[in-house]
Amino acid sequence: MGIYKRGNVFWIDFYDSNRKRVQESSESSSRRDAEAFLALRKSEILRGLYKQPVKISLGEFGERYMEHAKANKRSWLRDEQMLNHLCEFFGKDRSLTEITPLQIESYKIKRQGNVADSTVNRELALLKRMFNLAITWDLYLGLNPVRKVKFFREFNKRLRVLSPEEEEKLLQNAIPYLQDLIRFALNTGLRIGEIFSLRWSHVDLPRGILAVFASKTQTIREIPINSEARKVLEAWKLNKKNENVFYNPQTGKPFVDLKAGFVLGCEKAGISDVTWHTLRHTFASRLVNSGVDIVTVKELLGHSSISVTMRYAHTNIESKRAAVEKLDGFGDNLVTVGPKLHNSSAALSPSRSASYNVSRG
């Protein structure tokens, strides 16, 4: 038994209860951490609690994770995209036990040069979630290596929304079926995954209601169908081929990804920094700017917490301006009797000084 170093990381070397030699990374550059880890393993062996680490690659576990995500998450498509970036950097064949905090830090720095800090944080959060699940499923026995990696600090930025002019340009340059999906997204606020999974059994045209199932919270939220969304639904119903509301016109099968077509439409329209989720932001911002209360917006978006919806509150600048302007002249209706000024040269604010001189004149 002992402790040795590979590169900047300390490893422990010991024998399990069956006298089988085990070498395991402590995932730390501190010898003290490695000593504590070795003591833990010794204790587990003595108490009969030690389990031999399972060697599973990132690619293999990624497949298991995606099966779990598809069954439990609405945003699994996004997870799949982020997982591809992780596998590209670390390698599909790399064992989970070989992924160290130092390597994760290297990934963080490399990705920062290509994408926004918030995107890097989402990818790190996915990796952290995957390790936690691997630990829960007894496929990884170490401590989560992502816990030692500091996420980038995120600054609240103004959410990107489409202006009416940009919406018109995008619709003019998108292919016909994309035009319908864009209009539908802008008028329902549904996530792209929710649009893809929408069935005719979820659509009640006589009542004007969409019943959208949220797999994450296991709840159903009702979305009223406005006139624009109704036009889209009625048009697709005329050409109904199966239970899916929207489908690939060429194959008749459900959509899987429309990113390429959407990007092409944006490029032709000359607009940038726009994704499918921008349509959802636009839906929410337009509601807030129209005076819809934030609780109603939360329910329409299907947010689990009002704090998530509050980021749209700052978009209602015109309502805020109108509210503040209601204070104009408020003080003119009040009469305040104060002491006589003995020193006319006393310092006054510019606005008070002007009114004081006018009253004296």
Q: Which CATH number fits domain 58-148: 1.10.3470.10, 1.10.150.130, 3.40.50.970, 3.30.420.40?
A: 1.10.150.130
Task: Specify the DSSP class assigned to residue 225.
Answer: -
Residue 355 confidence (pLDDT) above 70: no
C-alpha span between 275 and 266 (Å, rounded): 9
309-329: pLDDT as tens digits: 887 776 666 666 666 777 776
**pLDDT at position 81:** 92
CA distance 126 to 142: 18
Rounded distance between C-alpha atoms, residue 320 and residue 341, angstroms: 37
d(Cα 121, Cα 127) in Å, to the nearest integer? 10
Q: Is 280 a catalytic residue?
A: yes
More confident residue, 161 or 345: 161
CATH 3.40.50.300 fits 164-318, yes or no: no
What is the pairing mode between strands 21-25 and 9-15? antiparallel
Active site residue 303: yes
68 is catalytic: no
From the list 64, 128, 231, 303, the catalytic residue is 303
- Please report the sign of the dihedral spanned by the C-alpha atoms of residue 194, residue 196, residue 202, residue 203: positive
Q: Which residues contact 75 (CB under 8 A, 6 or more apart)?
A: 191, 193
User: 11 with 24: CB under 8 angstroms?
Assistant: yes
Name, in order, each residue with C-beta under 8 angstroms of 315's C-beta and a sequence gap of 6 or more: 158, 159, 161, 285, 288, 289
Q: Are 304 and 217 in contact (CB under 8 A)?
A: yes
Residue in the structure block whose two tokens are 């301006």: 321
Q: How confident is the model at residue 14 (pLDDT cuts 50, 70, 90)?
A: confident
Catalytic-labelled residue, pool 169, 191, 281, 298: 191
Can you read off the two tokens belonging to residue 15?
């024998």
pLDDT in tens, 184-243: 999 999 988 889 889 999 999 999 999 987 665 667 889 999 999 999 999 999 988 889
A 10 A CB-CB count for 287 gives 20
Of 183, 280, 281, 286, catalytic: 280
Residue 94 token pair:
């790399």
- Residues 312 and 294 sit within 8 Å (Cβ to Cβ): yes
Closest-CA residue to 131 (of 110, 103, 156):
103
DSSP SS3 for 265? helix
pLDDT tens, 149-182? 999 987 655 678 899 999 999 999 999 989 999 9
CA 6 to each of CA 39, 98, 158: distance values in angstroms, whole numbers, following the listed order: 19, 12, 46
150 belongs to the catalytic site: no
Active site residue 6: no
For residues 72-93, give the mean pLDDT: 90
- As a whole number of angstroms, the distance between CA 349 and CA 317 comes to 28
pLDDT of 134 strictly over 80? yes
Out of 6, 216, 314, 352, the active site residue is 216
pLDDT bucket at 270, cuts 50 / 70 / 90: very high
Active site annotation includes 202: no
Query: The whole model's pTM is what?
Result: 0.55
Contacts 24+ apart (CB under 8 A), 36-42: 37/12, 38/1, 38/3, 38/12, 38/14, 41/12, 41/14, 42/1, 42/14
Residue-range domain boundaries for the chain: 2-39, 58-148, 164-318
